Amino acid sequence: MSLNRTAAGAGQKPRAWDRLSISTKQIVWAWTFLAVPMLFFTVVRFYPTAEAFYLSLTDWDFLRPASFIGLENYKMLLSDPVFWQVFRNTFAYLLIGTPISIVLSFVIAYYLDRIEFGHGFIRALYFLPFLTTAAAMAWVWRWFYQPPPIGVINSLLGAFGIPAQPFLRSVDQGLPAIMVTAIWAGLGFQIIIFLAGLRAIPATYHEAARVDGLGEFAILRKITLPLLKPTTVFLVVFSSIGFLRIFDQVYNMTSNDPGGPLNTTKPLVLMIYQTAFSSYQMGYAAAQTVVLFLILFAISMGQLWILRSR
């Protein structure tokens, strides 16, 4: 009775929703749920990104209304010697930091994988720095690098009769000194990922290779490394982006003279920060941000392409 009435009612007044097939309904539901993050990303990510592109073409200084000045900011950027210095620094962090951190973390993971005794403890020790706030860590390292009488490293050097080194106060040693800190900070994470990658390689491959009489080095070169390629590519991309965006370590270790003596340790992100929030040249800072975006975009695309061609 009541069933009939419902059916009759539906027949008289069919709702649009009920006429959709199940698969169409699923698609509608999927899009409804997806709309939330999409809306979020549009408002919080894409809109400000587009706005930054526009700002880079203006002379906005926070106080006066922005006026459109075309590519003036980009021209200024290209003729700014500090920008080129910062550009070189940023690529020095990337090109030296990434390979060293990848090789180092692989070597550690490779040997850590083979020991049973204290494995968890040592892994935790390596991972600990990754959990620590970058700013706090940077200040500890800043203290390590101090000149005598308080600097830990210089005290050690002094004990061996080696003259004190200026480290952060040097135009040559500043950047490597900061790089060591950044590599050390990211090492734990990379080791964990490498360990997971190593454990994912079936032990039978190695056993078969040993039965066939392959040496350890040949196993590493012919089996382990090729099978680790997805892990390695992921870590290279991840670490490259990290080094291109380096800021916390540099800012906190050189806050007396942000970016080190004569800008020798200053990365692009720090230059953007200073241009925007200490000189209030928002338009110029936006132009620098666009350049950083393009660099990150190109490098990420290149690395994704390598991953795909596998």
* Residue pair 169/147 in contact by the 8 Å Cβ criterion: yes
User: Integer distance in angstroms from the first to the last C-alpha of the chain?
Assistant: 65
- Scored b (16 or more CB within 10 A) or e, 105-123 reads bbebbbebbeeeeeeeeeb
Q: Does 48 bind other proteins (CB under 8 A)?
A: no
Which among 11-19, 26-34, 39-47, 163-171 is the span making contact with other proteins, rule CB under 8 A?
A: 163-171
Tell me which residue has tokens 């809109």: 47
Strand partners for 58: 68
Rounded least distance, CB 268 to other proteins, Å: 17
Rounded least distance, CB 288 to other proteins, Å: 15
Q: Does 274 bind other proteins (CB under 8 A)?
A: yes
* Residues 177 to 236 in contact with other proteins, rule: CB under 8 A: none
Verify cis geometry, omega within 30 degrees of 0, for the bond prior to 149.
yes
Residue of 69, 91, 110, 169 interacting with other proteins (CB under 8 A): 169
Looking at the Cβ atoms of 190 and 252, the one nearer to other proteins is 252
Strand partners for 68: 58
Looking at the Cβ atoms of 234 and 247, the one nearer to other proteins is 247
Q: Does 176 bind other proteins (CB under 8 A)?
A: no
Looking at the Cβ atoms of 86 and 191, the one nearer to other proteins is 86
Q: Does 78 bind other proteins (CB under 8 A)?
A: no
What torsion, rounded to 10 degrees, do the Cα atoms 266, 270, 276, 279 define?
A: -40
Other beta carbons within 10 Å of 277: 12
- Angle at the Cα of 144 (from 142 to 252), degrees rounded to 5? 10
Q: Does 279 bind other proteins (CB under 8 A)?
A: yes
Looking at the Cβ atoms of 190 and 249, the one nearer to other proteins is 249
Contacts with other proteins, residue ranges (CB under 8 A): 61-64, 142-143, 146-150, 154, 158, 163-164, 166, 168-171, 256-257, 261-263, 274, 277-280
